[in-house]
Structure 1
């Protein structure tokens, strides 16, 4: 329980910040036979809710109309830590550094044109921040034609493992091995762990606490 507490993101602001930096979320609804259906979706967190756009017909919309209770999650796998980082033979020592947010909530299909236009504009701001498009208004035909899913969270919890469970010495050793392994995400992961490279070598710049 002690470790689980240290893995929880305590800041609601950091959870929201994380959500809106992720390109893909996964929404889970329950089909007519009681099975979960999980779909990857573009999404945005705005005004206290998750918004997604969709084709106006489809199984997930039918599921949500029948049963509004849904799950939603977004995650970022930062770095796989091979078992040999800490043991030459024990495969159980393999681990992963990650950040994730899991939501339980109630889904509705938005009918209000003004709210639909707001959601679409927020999605565009997230995915096309450089602009180059006309802002959508509630009177545009495209707003009428697309479906907007809204999830109001009942619970929203975040977890992260970015080295906060390690002492400084171990964190520095793991960071060094991450850089030596040289994955595509290595430098980004080490930075999130609160480690910086200096002329004198790797140093702890901050505690990796959210």
Structure 2
């Protein structure tokens, strides 16, 4: 991982393109071949250590213009994807669920329900005092999108890769599972509408109405448990 104050390499393929993209959001990406070298998978993998540490420690990480990366499958945008879980006294597992609304998020996912909160790591996180740009990006995205009014524990539960959809081909998700003492999460962006905690069984019963990443992770983590 880059040291504090040392940004990762910027996209300098062409001077003209660099000038035009000066004011555009630049997001953290990993070359897709590097991901394949570590072991390609489709869907969900619980092997976090196999992938995340080598990716974050690679000197092939870079920040590149988001608009270009959204249509370039030779790179994967690294996305923290946080699930909020609450288990009540009777043992019913509920997940925070919301409808992707009309905010500034990924337009290709609008009007889909989701259980994942998070977003891109960007140059806003490059100068993190700790040097951990990934954690800085995760913390920033959560603070922008939700308010968590409960104590919780958290762990990294796996990764999501979906090469079967247009959105999935250019993203790699890192799944974080937050276990909350109370089901208290509030949406803070228009893009997270109708936020509420729903039983995992209910989400599974209506899974086709959810974005693909949510379908993948809910089935992987909660289908057998239900």
Asked if these proteins are the same fold (TM beyond 0.5), I'd say no
Larger radius of gyration: 1
Q: Under TM normalisation by the shorter chain, which class is it? A: under 0.3
| TM-score, length-scaled by structure 1 | 0.28
